[in-house]
Amino acid sequence: MIVFNVLLIILLIICAIAVERTKDLLSAMIIFGAYSAIMALLWLLLNAPDIAMTEAAVGAGVTTILFVGVLSKTRRNED
């Protein structure tokens, strides 16, 4: 079980670095949604189901949908 927790934390760090490094906003939002989903799973494994459900609903759900909605209203400039 400890190996699984360490693997999830490593994936969490990789997602955080990938969000910061990516240039495409849509890709960053998708990676951020994955970050929130992994964080919700970690909260669940830490026996905090109320925080896990909140993180999944707000972090992976509502925030990602709002970010994609805002991005759809903006224009992309191709250079």
Q: What is the per-residue pLDDT across 2-12, written as a single tens digit (0 to 9) for each?
A: 899 999 999 99
Per-residue pLDDT tens over the stretch 11-54: 999 999 999 999 988 899 999 999 999 999 999 999 999 999 99
User: Which tokens go with 40?
Assistant: 């919700």
Q: Cα separation of 30 and 28, whole Å?
A: 5
Structure-block tokens of residue 1 = 């079980």
d(CA 4, CA 71): 34
CB neighbour list of residue 12: distance below 8 Å, 6 or more residues apart? 35, 38, 39, 42
Q: What Å distances lie between residue 17 and 10, 11, 79, CA to CA?
A: 11, 10, 25
**Can you read off the two tokens belonging to residue 71?**
């991005």
